[in-house]
């Protein structure tokens, strides 16, 4: 009777006699191809040094079936020796597809969404949230841990994520979005301000109607549009040979470690601009005397210009004449003769708080 009672108490999980091999805190493998049973979204009861409940995030087969899971709590260890599979499949199960709720709020310890879900009220998840399909929330969304979303996520109010957020689809937030960990996203449309405490990586286009603040590094593979931007780390726009050319800012972009202007030009009697950013024009008023005009004004005149001069035929030094928020004027002086000279390859970079 005791054995029957134990079986009935835990009948929602069945040990199918798989032998797991520990890989890391969220991964293990089993011999053979069992992706039909161990598929994405299915729940597992892991028998480790403690009992851990998990949800399958990925399942693939090569020589063995490799499983990656999202644990409700805790981590897998080398003590993992067995696991039970939930009697309900995540595919064609008898439960209603996704989650549907009205105007009242919805609260979960953890949340795993396999089908599309619509919540008319607020959403609060104290643990991890894993979204395998679309999620639409009419009210404010507060996530106490991490957010992983494979499908499109549409939030009609604000979003607050206490941990890291990984968005493989498009993130649309009508209100402000605050990510207290790292943010990795495909495309994002943010109606309010976007604040990220960690690093931010965007693969698709980013549109934020209000100010954007990134406290870590920012990496963009596509276009960026914002009313203003504040970046305390490096800004790296990939896939574009012209630095910052794929970014559009309606207001000023303020960053500590980002060049505020750069350019390259050549000059003899006429000035020829080769390339640049925040570089409107260059003019020559006398031999070796040049004035660079910035497209957008710098914050102040306490900036640090770095100017390089081509070494052939006249290696020389640079002497600043005047620095303003909109222009900088300097003269090239030959090291050998002490006489001003023109050069066909002048490069500059400007840093400013």
pLDDT tens-digit readout, 5-14: 444 556 789 9
For position 83, what pLDDT does the model report?
Answer: 95
* Distance from C-alpha of 257 to C-alpha of 235, rounded to nearest angstrom: 8
Q: Are residues 269 and 345 in the same domain?
A: yes
Regarding whether 268 and 247 lie in a shared domain, the answer is: no
Quote the number of domains for the chain.
3
Same domain, 154 and 229: yes
Cβ atoms of 90 and 114 within 8 Å: the answer is: yes
- Is 116 in the same domain as 77? no
Phi-psi sector, 239: left (phi>0), alpha (psi -120 to 50), beta: left
Looking at residue 318, its pLDDT comes to: 84
**Looking at residue 241, what is its pLDDT?**
25
Taking the C-alpha atoms of residue 13 and residue 300, their distance in angstroms, rounded to an integer, is: 66
In this prediction, residue 245 carries a pLDDT of 35
Amino acid 200: pLDDT:
73
- Please check whether residue 334 lies inside any domain of the structure: yes
End residue of a domain, out of 196, 225, 255? 255
pLDDT at 79: 94
Q: Find out whether 348 and 308 touch, Cβ atoms under 8 Å.
A: yes
- As a whole number of angstroms, the distance between CA 242 and CA 135 comes to 37
d(CA 156, CA 173): 6
In a domain, 182, yes or no: yes
Do residues 266 and 140 both lie within one domain? Answer: no
Q: pLDDT value at position 105?
A: 64
DSSP 8: H
Q: Please give the residue range of the domain that contains residue 80.
A: 2-86
Nearest Cα residue to 86 out of 107, 108, 116, 114: 114
Please say whether the beta carbons of 226 and 212 come within 8 A.
yes
**Residue 236 pLDDT:** 53
Provide the pLDDT for residue 76: 94
Whether 92 is covered by a domain: the verdict is no
Q: What is the pLDDT of residue 141?
A: 81
Asked if the structure places residue 91 within a domain, the reply is: no
Q: What is the pLDDT of residues 148-158, one digit of tens each?
A: 777 777 777 78
pLDDT at residue 271 in the model: 78
Q: Which residues of the chain have pLDDT under 50?
A: 1-7, 238-246, 252
User: Are 292 and 249 found together in one domain?
Assistant: no
């Amino acid at each position: 009777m005791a054995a029957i009672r134990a079986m009935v108490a835990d009948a929602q999980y069945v040990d199918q006699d798989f032998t797991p091999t520990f890989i890391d805190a969220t991964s293990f493998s089993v011999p053979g191809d069992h992706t039909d049973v161990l598929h994405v979204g299915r729940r597992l009861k892991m028998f480790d040094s403690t009992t851990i409940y998990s949800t399958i995030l990925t399942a693939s087969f090569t020589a063995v079936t490799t499983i990656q899971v999202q644990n409700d709590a805790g981590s897998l260890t080398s003590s993992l020796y067995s696991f039970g599979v939930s009697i309900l499949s995540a595919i064609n199960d008898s439960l209603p597809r996704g989650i549907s709720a009205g105007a009242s709020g919805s609260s979960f310890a953890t949340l795993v969404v396999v089908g599309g879900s619509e919540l008319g009220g607020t959403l609060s998840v104290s643990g991890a949230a894993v979204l395998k399909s679309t999620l639409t929330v009419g009210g404010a969304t507060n996530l106490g841990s991490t957010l992983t979303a494979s499908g499109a996520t549409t939030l009609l109010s604000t979003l607050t994520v206490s941990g890291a957020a990984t968005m493989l689809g498009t993130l649309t937030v009508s209100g402000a979005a605050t990510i207290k960990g790292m943010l990795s996203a495909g495309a994002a449309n943010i109606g309010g301000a976007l604040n990220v405490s960690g690093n931010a990586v965007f693969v698709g286009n980013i549109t934020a109607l209000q100010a954007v603040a990134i406290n870590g590094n920012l990496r963009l593979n596509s276009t960026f549009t914002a009313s203003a931007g504040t970046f305390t780390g490096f800004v790296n726009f990939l896939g574009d040979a012209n630095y910052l050319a794929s970014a559009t800012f309606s207001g000023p972009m303020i960053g500590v470690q980002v060049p505020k202007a750069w350019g390259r030009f050549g000059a003899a009697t006429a000035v020829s601009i080769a390339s640049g950013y925040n570089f409107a024009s260059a003019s020559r008023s006398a031999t070796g005397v040049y004035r660079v005009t910035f497209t957008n004004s710098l914050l102040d005149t306490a900036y640090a210009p770095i100017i390089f001069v081509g070494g052939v035929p006249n290696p020389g030094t640079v002497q600043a004449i005047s620095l303003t928020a909109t222009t900088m004027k300097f003269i090239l002086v030959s090291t050998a003769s002490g006489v001003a000279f023109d050069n066909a390859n002048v490069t500059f970079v400007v840093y400013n708080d």
